[in-house]
Amino acid sequence: MVNGHPPRPERKIIHIDMDAFYASVEQHDNPALKGLPVIVGGDPSRRGVVSAASYEARAFGVHSAMPSSQARRLCPNGIFLPVRMHRYREVSDRIFRILREYTPLVEPLSLDESFLDVTGSEKLFGPALQIAREIKRRIRENTDLTASAGIAPNKFLAKIASDYRKPDGLVEIKPEEVRNFLRDLPIAKLWGVGKSTEEILKGMGILKTGQLAAFPAEKIEKKLGNFGLELTALARGEDDRAVQPESGAKSISQEETFTPDLENLEQMKKVLLDQAEQVGWELRKQKLKGSTVTVKVRYPDFTLVTRSFTLPSPTDQGIEIYRTAMKLLPRTEALQRRARLLGVGISNLFHRDDPEQYRLFDSGRKKVEGSVQAMDRIWEKFGPEAIKRATLMEKNLTAELAEHAEAGMAKGSWPRGQAKKRRTERKKDFDFPK
């Protein structure tokens, strides 16, 4: 025992990610497209964005989130197809049915991506590597598509591993290989490292994950705050996050694309306040509360970032969502780079009147003392008047912004897809958080 804690049993996490998912489904459904550069996404002659590019199209430099017009310039013979979400959902359902045969601990990240904790499944199904191989084989038999799989002692490493030999990859990182594996990994591969963080780290002479792991953590903390400490932990291969199965999994979000881009804090505050109110209203209407708030920003160059924070107690109040969003905003580069799209959402939802569901939802996470009472207190405290309070509270937020700019917060992700004008969604397909 160390410090009174029994040693943590080694975990076996598998990350599964389908290869060029939407594009592969299109190629499957129309075999004449196999071997051709297929680009799924918005209309190149409008303001469309690429959702998925087949590996043949990627050879031309086309990738997700790129404007379709640019994709057409790079790949004039590309075959541009619209997104057929219902079809991808169908295929996704089949894949998830297979995954759940191996463990109930399946955490979907998007239609094509998920974590599995198979620590307890090895007795029944054999070693994790064998499970992953079998899953890949069954997905191929069942859908005629290829998946890449990564196996590792934690989520972060499993995701890195699945990406390592894409497409059709199968990579295991054993605990004793972690250090070697991370040594030469570029820092940009660490979760949450965007262009500006990368520049800061490069300025300190840190280009590779191994260098970050060896760097004194206090110095990183000085530059990047708690976020720096999180990064250092990841660089050392440490990531304790549990695989969270999808019980009650849904999300509600609002997002909007702006022309011209949003360029200052005042504009962004107004937008986030409005969106957070809408999300809160939607939660209350559906008698839901949620605990993970995510802010989503698309920069003018179309790169998309998301930042998430999990509240100690769930909420259905716009004001609380707004305040959290305002703490997350400085974790993006929206103010430096402008925002083409801005959005806020909430996930980890459960029914307000269902404490049992809450307990289920909360299991496996740090227990929040008196959580159910706390929820009721939040409800009583803010009530339906919350929206009015938002404007008053807003005045104190600029100070809070500075204070929280360096705050360490959990990273997460957002439902993917093309930016749509003002959309509110209640997602059943669980495509966030990551």
The catalytic site residues sit at 113
**Residues 159, 136: Cα–Cα separation, whole Å:** 15
Please pick, from the candidates 16, 18, 201, 249, the single residue that binds Mg ion as defined by CB under 5 A.
18
The smaller minimum CB distance to ligand DCP, of residues 125 and 302, is found at: 302
The smaller minimum CB distance to Mg ion, of residues 16 and 297, is found at: 16
Residue 163 Cβ vs ligand DCP, minimum distance, rounded to whole Å: 7
Burial of 317 (0-12, 13-18, 19+ CB in 10 A): buried
* Contact region with ligand DCP (CB under 6 A), list: 105-113, 185-193, 225-233, 361-369: 105-113
Residue whose C-alpha is closest to residue 19's, from 113, 117, 114: 113
Give the total of residues touching ligand DCP (CB under 6 A).
17
C-beta of residue 192 within 8 angstroms of C-beta of residue 305:
no
Determine how β-strand 170-172 pairs with β-strand 147-152.
parallel
Residue 61 in tokens: 């430099």
The smaller minimum CB distance to Mg ion, of residues 331 and 416, is found at: 416
User: SS3 of 259, please?
Assistant: strand
* Contact region with Mg ion (CB under 5 A), list: 9-17, 59-67, 228-236, 294-302: 9-17
Please pick, from the candidates 26, 56, 107, 112, the single residue that binds Mg ion as defined by CB under 5 A.
112
Please pick, from the candidates 14, 16, 18, 149, the single residue that binds ligand DCP as defined by CB under 6 A.
18
The smaller minimum CB distance to ligand DCP, of residues 239 and 429, is found at: 429
Query: What torsion do the CA atoms of 229, 241, 410, 325 make, to the nearest 10 degrees?
Result: -170
Identity of residue 17:
D
**Residues 111, 17: Cα–Cα separation, whole Å:** 9
Query: Is residue 52 close enough to count as binding ligand DCP by CB under 6 A?
Result: yes
Phi and psi torsions of 37, nearest 5°: -75, 100
Residue 194 Cβ vs Mg ion, minimum distance, rounded to whole Å: 20
Spell out, one character per residue from 54 to 73, where the chain touches ligand DCP: x when CB under 6 A holds, - when not: ----------xx--------
Residue 52 Cβ vs ligand DCP, minimum distance, rounded to whole Å: 3
The smaller minimum CB distance to Mg ion, of residues 112 and 255, is found at: 112
Q: Among ligand DCP, Mg ion, none, what does residue 327 contact (CB within 5–8 Å per kind)? A: none
Query: Is residue 26 close enough to count as binding ligand DCP by CB under 6 A?
Result: no
The smaller minimum CB distance to ligand DCP, of residues 22 and 361, is found at: 22
Give the CB-nearest residue to Mg ion: 17
Sheet holding 13-18, edge to edge: 106-110, 113-117, 13-18, 147-152, 170-172
Query: Is residue 21 close enough to count as binding ligand DCP by CB under 6 A?
Result: yes
Q: Among Mg ion, ligand DCP, none, what does residue 375 contact (CB within 5–8 Å per kind)? A: none
Q: Among Mg ion, ligand DCP, none, what does residue 274 contact (CB within 5–8 Å per kind)? A: none
Query: Is residue 161 close enough to count as binding ligand DCP by CB under 6 A?
Result: no
Beta pairing partners, 18: 147
The smaller minimum CB distance to Mg ion, of residues 158 and 409, is found at: 158
- Non-local CB neighbours of 243 within 8 Å, separated by 6+ positions: 13, 105, 106, 107, 115, 116, 117, 155
Burial of 36 (0-12, 13-18, 19+ CB in 10 A): middle
Residue 410 Cβ vs Mg ion, minimum distance, rounded to whole Å: 23
Q: At what angle do helices 318-328 and 397-404 cross, to 10 degrees?
A: 50
- Non-local CB neighbours of 332 within 8 Å, separated by 6+ positions: 194, 295, 297, 305, 307
Please pick, from the candidates 127, 194, 408, 417, the single residue that binds ligand DCP as defined by CB under 6 A.
417
Residue 90 Cβ vs ligand DCP, minimum distance, rounded to whole Å: 14
- Site residues for ligand DCP, 166-205, by CB under 6 A, read 166-167
Count of beta carbons in the 10 Å neighbourhood of residue 111: 25
Query: Is residue 305 close enough to count as binding ligand DCP by CB under 6 A?
Result: no
Query: Is residue 91 close enough to count as binding Mg ion by CB under 5 A?
Result: no
Query: Is residue 416 close enough to count as binding ligand DCP by CB under 6 A?
Result: yes
Our CA angle for 271, 277, 282, nearest 5°, is 125
Residue 416 Cβ vs ligand DCP, minimum distance, rounded to whole Å: 4
**Residues 19, 21: Cα–Cα separation, whole Å:** 5
The smaller minimum CB distance to ligand DCP, of residues 162 and 310, is found at: 162
Query: Is residue 113 close enough to count as binding ligand DCP by CB under 6 A?
Result: yes
User: SS3 of 17, please?
Assistant: strand
Identity of residue 139:
I
Residue 403 Cβ vs ligand DCP, minimum distance, rounded to whole Å: 32
Q: What residue ranges bind Mg ion (CB under 5 A)?
A: 17-18, 21, 112
**In the complex, which residues of this chain contact ligand DCP (CB under 6 A)?**
17-22, 51-52, 64-65, 110, 112-113, 166-167, 416-417
